[in-house]
Amino acid sequence: MSFHYSALQKCLHWLHAALLLCLIPLGLVMTRMGEGALTNQFYEGHKSLGILAFVVAVVRLAVRAIQGAPPYERALHPLVRVLAKAGHWALYGLVLMIPLVGYAATSICCKPVMLFGLMVVPLEFTGSESLMKLLFVWHETAAIGLALLVCGHIGMALYHRFKARDGVFERMT
């Protein structure tokens, strides 16, 4: 059994990481900008990248279901294994939930939802303005949680690479 992820899993991981590292700062910046054409472009880009990130997350989970994941390094303490597994599943849950909630809120307020200005994404939600506002609050709150988890994930990866040197980092490189 391999102790590393497959080349496809690694590629999807790093593509997803790049998308998230664009989406999170873009979301923080665009929500604090004044109204205008540039702000609208940021929102459209954020929505399209969010849809793409959702698709990549679904593909990642499908590939993981088919190919599995390598076992944890034997040297890891059992509590560390539990925390790592919980952290990874929390990341997966948030990267699936956040775009769905953002899409639902955007669909309520700002139809149509476009994908890179090329096509309308056909799924539409309806609801009240109060529901839309609540969904945007959930979206932003969960995104902040995701940003914190991503920072923790990066921190732990760097810890395993430079301090522990236990091979955990190399599983995804």
Q: What is the pLDDT of residue 76?
A: 83
Residue 72 reports pLDDT greater than 60: yes
* Backbone CA torsion sign across 63, 69, 70, 75: positive
Q: What is the pLDDT of residue 89?
A: 96
Per-residue pLDDT band at 2 (split at 50, 70, 90): low
Instruction: Give the three-class secondary structure for 173.
Output: coil
Q: How far is Cα 153 from Cα 89, in angstroms, rounded to an integer?
A: 12
Q: What is the pLDDT of residue 3?
A: 81
| pLDDT per position as a tens digit, 23-70 | 999 999 999 999 999 999 999 999 999 999 999 999 999 999 999 999
Q: Which CATH number covers residue 44? A: 1.20.950.20
Per-residue pLDDT band at 90 (split at 50, 70, 90): very high
| pLDDT per position as a tens digit, 125-153 | 999 999 999 999 999 999 999 999 999 99
**R_g (Cα) of the chain, nearest Å:** 18
| Number of domains comprising the chain | 1
Please return the burial class of 127, using the count of CB atoms within 10 Å of its CB with bins 0-12, 13-18 and 19+.
Answer: middle
Q: Which residue is it, tokens 């991981």?
A: 13
If phi over 0 gives left and psi between -120 and 50 gives alpha, with beta otherwise, what is residue 90? alpha
The three-state (H, E, C) secondary structure of 39-87, written as one string: HHHHHHHHHHHHHHHHHHHHHHHHHHHHHCCCCCCCCCCHHHHHHHHHH
Domain that holds residue 166: 7-172
Is 1 part of any domain? no
Instruction: Give the three-class secondary structure for 114.
Output: strand
Please return the burial class of 165, using the count of CB atoms within 10 Å of its CB with bins 0-12, 13-18 and 19+.
Answer: exposed
Cα dihedral angle (146, 4, 60, 132), rounded to 10 degrees? 0
